[in-house]
């Protein structure tokens, strides 16, 4: 007991060093990769046109299998329709999967085209998705929505926030 | 935040302060390790040199003017941390750290290319590049300032509450950064 009173400062320094060291050790174990996908939603004449950017390795992790070019669209469509939905002006709308293509430069990036038939003015848009967030806890889904120059919004959805409502002025 | 600019600002800020990708924070820790609170003018020059470097390569890579070999950049980033951490042992905070400014600028060029591969992931098919790039970079700057303030907050606490001497602090944080950066460099060696 005597010694601990005599050298308190040195002891405290060791405690801090230990805490910092342990903290840094856990940081070192964290994964380095980032998990992002992006939904660009633009209003066309007869539909909302959606371009989805996906990193194929993340999708493979979510589906638990390797994706071949031939089976990519059918497996992805099934997954997407279960993990993404839209409501426009309060009404749920049918999402149809058009197809996909590989990025010209990045082999891991796939662009998927989706269409939601809709005519008229968008007053409100609700996007609900747990796309990849159901399996990848760090996944961020960026939503960019543009109806016209008056109404353009973006936001990101995560594991803890799967629904976003945009209101046009 | 709901506007596009705000989103990219937030993404830039989060990218720098993300605990899952702490390499840029570790670099800042190693970079500022030799300095005391009263060396704040030198810190501003140092942080500005790093900012100039990374803003330049982030912009050039985002605009596709320079190509980026991601796997080499992922290797050179921990190497830059390792060198900075070792350099921290030899920098005298009272001296004129011109060499250190040059180092911050050069390593900024490497980190900017690292930022660019994350930034590229955030762009859509028809996205305009310039405005997102600007706000993403501003978010990174704010993140960088916050990280440096946090480091000095910790140093201040260690110094005031527990009488940790400055030289001990420098040795401890550069030692920790050296260890982590060495492991990361070996893990990320691309060949």
| Average pLDDT of the segment spanning A8-28 | 62
Q: What is the pLDDT of residue B57?
A: 97
Q: Which 3 state secondary structure label does DSSP give A31?
A: coil
Q: For residues B125 and A40, is the Cβ–Cβ distance under 8 A?
A: yes
Q: Which domain holds residue B166?
A: 4-188
Distance from CA of A74 to the nearest CA of B (A): 22
Q: What is the pLDDT of residue A19?
A: 67
Q: For residues A156 and A142, is the Cβ–Cβ distance under 8 A?
A: yes
* Tens digit of each residue's pLDDT (9 = 90 or more) over B75-112: 999 999 999 999 999 998 888 899 999 999 999 999 99
Distance from CA of A151 to the nearest CA of B (A): 10
Q: What is the largest CA-CA distance in chain A?
A: 83
Q: What is the pLDDT of residue B156?
A: 95
ipTM for this model: 0.81
Question: Of B7, B22, B176, which has the smallest distance from its Cβ to A155's Cβ?
Answer: B7
Distance from CA of B164 to the nearest CA of A (A): 7
**Could you give the CA distance from residue A138 to residue A128 in angstroms, rounded to a whole number?**
17
> In A, which residues are within 8 Å of B120 by CB distance?
106
Element (H, E) at A58: helix A56-63
**Could you give the CA distance from residue A6 to residue B138 in angstroms, rounded to a whole number?**
50
How many domains does chain B contain in total? 1
**Could you give the CA distance from residue B61 to residue B56 in angstroms, rounded to a whole number?**
9
Asked if pLDDT for residue B12 goes beyond 50, the answer is yes
* Tens digit of each residue's pLDDT (9 = 90 or more) over B162-176: 999 999 999 999 999
Question: Of A21, A106, A144, which has the smallest distance from its Cβ to B124's Cβ?
Answer: A144
> In A, which residues are within 8 Å of B2 by CB distance?
153-155, 166
Q: What is the pLDDT of residue A121?
A: 92
| Average pLDDT of the segment spanning A70-82 | 91
Query: For residue A128, how far is the Cα from the chain centroid?
Result: 11
**Could you give the CA distance from residue A117 to residue A131 in angstroms, rounded to a whole number?**
21
Tell me which of A79 and B93 has the higher pLDDT: A79
Task: Check which CATH number belongs to the domain holding B163 and give it.
Answer: 1.20.1250
Contact flag B168-A13 (C-beta cutoff 8 Å): yes
């Amino acid at each position: 007991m005597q010694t601990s009173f005599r050298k308190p400062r040195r002891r405290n320094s060791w405690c801090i060093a230990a805490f910092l060291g342990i903290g840094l050790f856990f940081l070192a174990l964290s994964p380095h990769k980032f998990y992002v996908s992006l939904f660009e939603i633009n209003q066309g004449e007869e539909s909302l046109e959606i371009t989805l950017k996906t990193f194929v390795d993340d999708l493979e992790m979510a589906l638990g299998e390797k994706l071949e070019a031939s089976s990519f669209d059918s497996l992805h469509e099934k997954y997407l329709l279960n993990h993404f939905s839209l409501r426009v002006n309060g009404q749920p709308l049918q999402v149809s999967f058009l197809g996909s293509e590989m990025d010209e430069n990045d082999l891991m990036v796939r662009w998927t085209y989706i269409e939601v038939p809709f005519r008229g003015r968008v007053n409100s848009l609700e996007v609900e998705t747990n796309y990849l967030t159901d399996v990848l806890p760090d996944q961020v889904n960026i939503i960019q929505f543009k109806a016209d120059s008056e109404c353009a919004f973006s936001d990101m959805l995560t594991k803890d926030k799967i629904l976003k409502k945009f209101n046009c002025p | 935040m709901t506007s596009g600019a705000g989103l990219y600002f937030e993404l830039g800020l989060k990218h720098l302060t993300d605990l899952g990708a702490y390499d840029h924070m570790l670099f800042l820790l190693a970079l500022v390790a030799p300095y005391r609170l009263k060396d704040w003018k030198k810190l501003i020059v140092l942080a500005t040199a790093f900012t100039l470097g990374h803003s330049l390569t982030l912009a050039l890579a985002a605009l596709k003017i320079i190509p980026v070999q991601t796997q080499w950049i992922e290797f050179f980033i921990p190497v830059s941390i390792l060198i900075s951490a070792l350099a921290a042992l030899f920098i005298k905070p009272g001296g004129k750290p011109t060499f250190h400014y040059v180092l911050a600028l050069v390593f900024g060029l490497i980190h900017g290319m690292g930022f660019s591969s994350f930034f590229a992931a955030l762009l859509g098919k028809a996205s305009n590049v310039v405005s997102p790039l600007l706000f993403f970079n501003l978010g990174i700057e704010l993140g960088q300032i916050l990280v440096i303030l946090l480091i000095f907050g910790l140093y201040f606490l260690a110094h005031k509450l527990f009488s940790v001497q400055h030289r001990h602090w420098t040795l401890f944080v550069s030692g920790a950064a050296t260890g982590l950066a060495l492991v990361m460099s070996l893990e990320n060696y691309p060949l």
